[in-house]
Structure 1
Amino acid sequence: MLDEKGRLFGKINIIDLLVVLLVLVVAVVVAVKLLGGGEGLPGGESGSTKLTYIVEVDGVKPEVYENLKSYVEQEGGDQLMASGDMLDAYVTGVTAEPHEEVVSLNTANGQITLPTEPGLLDLTFTIESNVVNAVTNEVGTQEVRIGKTHTVKTVHFELVNGVITDCQWGDGE
């Protein structure tokens, strides 16, 4: 197969053949990465998966709730954004419950009860999104996992220090 000059079949140098094969493998890997092959899980349009999650934000002033409610209640909800980009995610519901007006602390000398600002609300947001990768569950720049803190940010409002309390993948059927 190899002749005295190291050529395969008398025409191709074995080193040149290895370099050509290596370039082809690198080109295929780059093409797969750029075209998004193998990314995402089946179940949604164009490889995306529907993710519905609940975020609870505690201690919000009632006027903030009243002002943001109309945006969430519009048809389709209020679209989320991150870093100036609109996301494939929408706040589709919000409810309010009265916030506890005292905080209890256990100390070495017993329990201390401290008052908090009266009249605050605990808001619960329902967010529906389409994620490309159901393993990382990234919505914009935030990973969605039960127990993680989450910022609910739209064009119209932004509330920080929310906590994700529930996640449902797929249509929930």
Structure 2
Amino acid sequence: MIDEKGRLFGKINIVDLLVILVVLIAAVVLGLKFLKPNVTGGELETEDGLVPVTYTVLVENVLPEVYESVQKYIPGTMMASGELLDGQIVDVDAATHYNDFLVETDDGAELIEVDQGRLDLTFTIQCNVANPITTLIGAQEVRVGKTHIVKTDKFEMVGTILTCEWGANTAASGNEAE
């Protein structure tokens, strides 16, 4: 098979053959990487290529006056860095905020919840993102458990993301709660 000059079948050098194989393998790998269809959204995408996302953000220990002011601006368009985003705050719900205090008693310790007149607000937000892997709205990633700034041109609050749903059916589910 290999002759005295190191050629395979008397026609091609083994080193040349290895170089050709490496180039072909590299071309196939790069071709698959760059030419395969985009799989970022798949069945989640809408016809415009964006993925609808609905998520909730909990903002704790808010004064009732702040809640009353915020309610006037719901629904409201999200914004960041002075620009409006492709996202809407569609709802806000309030619940009593309780502070827990540990009280020493003769029988041990007792946990007491005290209402100090504050509220916990839960915002429902619907937005469209280009990539459901990074799920960016403005410069913020939307991830359950992550700190999130809820901001419009009228108010700004910091909370924690509680829930998140991706896909075309999430926009309808957010409106049913109203």
TM-score bracket, normalised by the shorter chain, equals 0.5 to 0.7
Deviation of 1:111 after TM superposition, in Å, equals 5.2
Q: Say whether 1:41 aligns with 2:38.
A: no
Q: Deviations over 1:146-165 (max 9, x none)?
A: 111111000010001x1111
Q: Distance in 2 between matches of 1:115 and 1:78?
A: 33
Residues 61 and 120 in structure 1, CA contact (< 8 A), matched pair in contact too? yes
Moved over 6 A (4+): 112-117
Aligned residues: 132
Shift of 1:44: 1.5
TM-score by length of 1: 0.66
Question: Quick one: structure 1 residues 159 and 166, their matched pair in 2 at CA, closer, same or farther if it must change by over 3 Å?
Answer: same
Quickly say closer, same or farther: Cα 1:153–1:112, change in 2 above 3 A: farther
Q: Percent of aligned positions with the same letter in both sequences? A: 43
CA shift digits 1:96-128 (9 cap, x unpaired): 00100x33469xxx7586987821100000000
Q: Please state if 1:169 is matched with 2:166.
A: yes
Aligned to 1:54: 56
Kept in 2, the 8 Å contact 1:96–1:122? The answer is yes
- One-letter amino acid of the structure 1 residue matched with residue 137 of structure 2: V
2:150 to 143, 149, 152: 152
Q: 1:88 to 1:45 in 2, by over 3 A?
A: farther
Say whether 1:122 aligns with 2:120: yes
Rate the CA distance shift 1:105–1:144 in 2: closer, same or farther, 3 A: farther
SS at match of 2:117: coil
Counterpart secondary structure, 1:118: strand
